[in-house]
Amino acid sequence: MNLDKLKPIASADVRGKRVIVRADLNVPVSGGKVSDVTRLTRLIPGLKDLASRGAKVIVISHFGRPKGRDPKDSLKPVADMLASLAGMPIAFADDCVGDAVTAAIANLPAGGIIVLENTRFHTGEEVNRPRFTEALAALGDIYVNDAFSAAHRAHSSTEGIAHLLPAYAGPLMMGEINALKLALEAPKRPTVAVVGGAKVSTKIPVLTNLLAKVDKLIIGGGMANTFLQAQGIDVGKSLAEPDHHETARAIMAEAKAKGREIVLPVDAVIAREFKAGAASSVVDVAAVPADAMILDVGPKSVAHLAKVIEGCHTLLWNGPLGAFEIAPFGEGTFALAKQAARMTKAGQLVSVAGGGDTVAALNAAGVTEQFTYVSTAGGAFLEWLEGRELPGVAALTHG
Catalytic residues: 39, 199, 356, 379
Looking at the DSSP assignment, which residues form a beta bridge with residue 93? 116
**Stretch binding ligand AMP (CB under 6 A), from 2-10, 32-40, 69-77, 316-324:** 316-324
Per the CB < 8 A criterion, the answer to whether 116 and 140 are in contact is: no
Task: State which of residues 322, 332, 354, 391 lies at the interface with ligand AMP (CB under 6 A).
Answer: 322
Sheet hosting strand 267-271, strand order edge to edge: 280-284, 267-271, 293-297
> Shortest approach of ligand AMP to residue 262 CB, angstroms?
17
> Shortest approach of ligand AMP to residue 278 CB, angstroms?
12
Residues 6 or more apart whose CB falls under 8 angstroms from that of 181 comprise: 3
The 3-state secondary structure of 52-74 reads HCCCEEEEECCCCCCCCCCHHHC
Q: How many residues bind ligand AMP (CB under 6 A)?
A: 16
Residues in 231-270 at the binding interface with ligand AMP, rule: CB under 6 A:
239
- Provide the terminal-to-terminal Cα distance of the chain, rounded to the nearest Å: 12
Interface map 38-77 toward ligand AMP (x if CB under 6 A):
----------------------------------------
Ranges of H-type helices in 239-365:
245-258, 299-310, 331-345, 356-365
User: How far from chain centre, in Å, is Cα 157?
Assistant: 19
**Stretch binding ligand AMP (CB under 6 A), from 16-24, 98-106, 181-189, 191-199:** 191-199
Task: State which of residues 197, 265, 298, 332 lies at the interface with ligand AMP (CB under 6 A).
Answer: 197
Task: State which of residues 124, 140, 222, 354 lies at the interface with ligand AMP (CB under 6 A).
Answer: 222
Interface map 273-302 toward ligand AMP (x if CB under 6 A):
---------------------xx-------
How far is it, in rounded angstroms, from Cα 169 to Cα 156? 16
> Shortest approach of ligand AMP to residue 353 CB, angstroms?
12
Residue 277, exposed/middle/buried by CB under 10 A (0-12, 13-18, 19+)?
exposed
Interface map 375-394 toward ligand AMP (x if CB under 6 A):
--------------------
Nearest to 213 by CA among 378, 387, 375: 387
Q: Which of 222, 236 has the CB closer to ligand AMP?
A: 222
Q: Which of 70, 243 has the CB closer to ligand AMP?
A: 243
336 near ligand AMP, judged by CB under 6 A: no
Per the CB < 8 A criterion, the answer to whether 148 and 6 are in contact is: no
Residues at the contact surface with ligand AMP, assessed by CB under 6 A:
197-199, 202, 221-222, 239, 294-295, 319-320, 322-325, 357
